[in-house]
Amino acid sequence: MKGFWKLAWVEIKIYLRQPEAAFFTLVFPMLLLFLFGSIYGNKPSPFFGGRGMVDVSTPAYLAMIIGSTGLMSIAITVSSHREKGVLRRYRATPLRPATVLASQVIVHFLMTLFGGILLIASARLVYGLRFEGRSLDVLLGFTLSTLSFFAVGFLLASVAKTARAANILGMVLYFPNLFLSGATIPKQTFPQAVKAVSKFIPLTHVVDLLQGLWIGDSLGKHLLEIGVLAGLLVVGVAVSAMAFRWE
Amino acid sequence: MPPTTPAIEVKSLAKSYGRLKAVDGVSFSVGAGEIFGMVGPNGAGKTTTIECLEGMRFPDAGELRVLGLDPRKDGHELRERIGVQLQQSSLPDDMKVWEALDLFASYYRKPAAWKPLLERLEISDKKNARFSKLSGGQKQRLFIALALVNDPELVFLDELTTGLDPHARRSMWDLVRAIRERGKTVFLTTHYMEEAEHLCDRVLVIDHGRIVALDSPANLVRGLKSEIQILFTAETGFDPAPLRSLPGVTRAEKNGEKVIVAGQGDRLIVVVVNALDAAGVHFRDLRTEQPDLDDVFLALTAETGLDGGSR
């Protein structure tokens, strides 16, 4: 893994220099938190099963961050690196191809984690966020969800011929995932028809898994979500491995 | 490496894209310490050849040895020892110059110190600039720096000066010569004949994937057997007819005050000037026009040079 950490560190710095990427990962979730937090507060309500709005929304916003780094950041970074010839230039060095891809995974994982920690810390400090789950289970669920969506991001970068196409594909997938999964608008407010559609949206399973683990569900209670996300991971990796091009 | 071993040996290299034979049976070798140039029209097979040598592309057929390694099998080891400047490549827009060098240095077993490299390439003042803010010349300097960051034995430069202004191009030439003076072998492609003529020890002319000539620039020009022209100004009463009987002269014409004498041979100028002097002719502004590599190139790629030459 020669060059791995240095490459990852440089890519993190580059990530933070791009305002739009940093905005969706770090700033936007907090804006939503403060917007809805200031409207509804975090008082326990029967509508949210005896919990507050922030208690229910925070794990959902985690899912939103995962969706944005997976469907947008990974797909756009990798495809634009390819389009511009950055991957080509790396290929002319002894750097292993796996190192290049692994560094993208670790960089985006750390950025997603960083965005999540910022969000949780703000929710805790400002609205007294309650946590009833097990940290390790939440971390496991978060990691599986993140890797699954990263695999989809790599898939998009593999099938899209240009960075622009990857960008459009990412957006077309990102926004339905964002609004129909319960990641932004609580699912409790959805009409029946939308709830039915929501079951077929991949990010819904991330929202359900993280919200469940957050209030203390066992991993075993969410085998459906875990199965769907693991399947997404396998398909994403398999298709990317076949279709990925360096130039 | 002992000086007797060539840096590059190529035998019957072939590579097709679909039905297009990009490189069609090319053989040559490059000696250690040489500046070797490959010239040809766009689409002649230059980049395909160079990328096969770098291990970036896999040839369909042929034997390749680069620094004694097979680029197909030992690509990883080879890339430790060669420096590469690609025709089409880039860095992330927001990567800074020093970060790129520091990063690329970390990819190699035995990296060179990159700070002196920045100074040698005169981009020290751009150390903290982002890649997207560099000019074309500065980007090329950075790419050369990246190609030298592993202190390679052999450097590949693919169309190094394309798109640069004449001043930047000249300073690139100085850089290439400096690379060779440090004992490295340079393999470059260009479509500027002037560049090949000034820089290269030997030039390979390629067209339609085949070698059409391979020699030193001076020998290529000599081999062209084209005419030297002597041009001067003489008073209106001057009669050029006697010049036509001089040895080597094929043509002597006068147009107003301007006289053109054309012919062949190394002694042509001496013969003509002596004859003029002996006859007491007052001539002014004498100059000669000799064929250069441009003429060689046009002659060698003539069948295709005007239409299908660049696809």
pLDDT in tens, chain B (311 residues): 445 689 999 999 999 999 999 999 999 999 999 999 999 888 889 999 999 999 999 999 999 999 999 999 999 999 999 999 998 889 999 999 999 999 999 999 999 999 999 998 889 999 999 999 999 889 999 999 999 999 999 999 998 888 788 888 888 899 899 999 999 999 999 888 888 989 999 999 999 999 999 999 888 888 777 788 899 998 878 888 889 989 889 889 888 889 999 888 888 889 999 999 998 888 889 998 887 788 878 878 775 544 443 33
Q: Can you tell me the mean pLDDT for A202-211?
A: 96
- Res B290: pLDDT: 81
In a domain, B301, yes or no: no
Token couple for A207: 């929202």
> What's the total number of domains in chain B?
2
d(C-alpha B209, C-alpha B193), whole Å? 18
Residue A149, pLDDT > 70, answer yes
Are residues B117 and B250 located together in one domain of the fold? no
Residue B309: its pLDDT value, please? 37
* Location of structure tokens 């880039």: B90
Query: What is the mean predicted confidence (pLDDT) over A121-139?
Result: 96
- Any CB–CB contact under 8 A between B84 and chain A? yes
Integer-rounded Cα Rg, in Å, for chain B is: 24
Write down the pLDDT at residue B4.
61
Taking CB atoms and an 8 Å limit, are A91 and B91 in contact across chains? no
Give percent of chain A above pLDDT 90: 85
Task: Test A7 with B103 for CB contact under 8 angstroms.
Answer: yes
Is B88 in the A-facing interface, judged by CB distances under 8 Å? yes
Helices A4-17 and A97-127: angle between axes, nearest 10 degrees? 50
- Chosen domain end from B222, B257, B272: B222
- Alpha-carbon torsion A119, A206, A165, A6, what sign? positive
Residue B309 in domain: no
Per-residue pLDDT, B305: 43
What count of other Cβ atoms lies within 10 Å of the Cβ of residue A231?
12
| Least CB–CB distance from A86: residue in B91, B106, B107 | B91
Residue B81: its chain A contacts at CB < 8 A?
none
Report the gap between the CA of B292 and the closest CA in chain A (Å).
Answer: 35
**Domain limits at B272?**
227-290
> Would residue B307 count as lying in a domain?
no
Q: Which residues pair with B20 in a beta bridge?
A: B17
Band of residue A1 on the pLDDT scale cut at 50, 70, 90: low
* Contact between chains at A18 and B94 (C-beta distance less than 8 A): yes
pLDDT mean across residues, chain A: 93
| DSSP code string of chain A | -TTHHHHHHHHHHHHHH-HHHHIIIIIHHHHHHHHHHHHHTT--BGGGTTB-HHHHHHHHHHHHHHHIIIIIIIHHHHHHHHHHTHHHHHHTSS--HHHHHHHHHHHHHHHHHHHHHHHHHHHHHHH-----S-HHHHHHHHHHHHHHHHHHHHHHHHH-SSHHHHHHHHHHHHHHHHHHSSSSS-GGG--HHHHHHHTT-HHHHHHHHHHHHHTT--GGGGHHHHHHHHHHHHHHHHHHHHH----
Find where tokens 């490496």 sit: B1
Alpha-carbon torsion (A148, A171, A84, B22), positive or negative: positive
Q: Whole-prediction pTM value?
A: 0.83
Kindly state whether residue B238 falls inside one of the protein's structural domains.
yes
Is B298 inside any structural domain? no
As a whole number of angstroms, the distance between CA A57 and CA A182 comes to 9
CATH of the domain at B89: 3.40.50.300
Determine the distance in angstroms separating the CA of A64 from the nearest CA of chain B, rounded to an integer: 26
Pair B200, B284 in one domain? no
Q: What are the structure tokens assigned to A200, written together?
A: 């077929």
What is the CATH classification number for the domain harbouring B250? 3.30.70.980
Residue B22 lies in a domain: yes
Whether B74 maps to a domain, the answer reads: yes
Domain boundary among B167, B191, B222: B222
Provide the number of CB pairs (under 8 Å) joining chain A to chain B: 62
How near does any CA of chain B get to the CA of A18, in Å? 8
Q: How far apart are CA B96 and CA B111, in angstroms?
A: 19
Residues paired with residue A218 on neighbouring β-strands, in sequence order: none
Whether residues B166 and B276 fall in one domain: no
CB contact under 8 A, A94 and B79: yes
Residue-wise burial string across A19-39, b where 16 or more C-beta atoms lie within 10 A, e elsewhere: eebbebbbebbbebbeebbee
Residue B36 lies in a domain: yes
CA distance A88 to A136: 39
For residues B165 and B275, state if they share a domain: no
| pLDDT value at residue B122 | 87
Q: Is B161 found in the same domain as B51?
A: yes
Same domain, B278 and B161: no
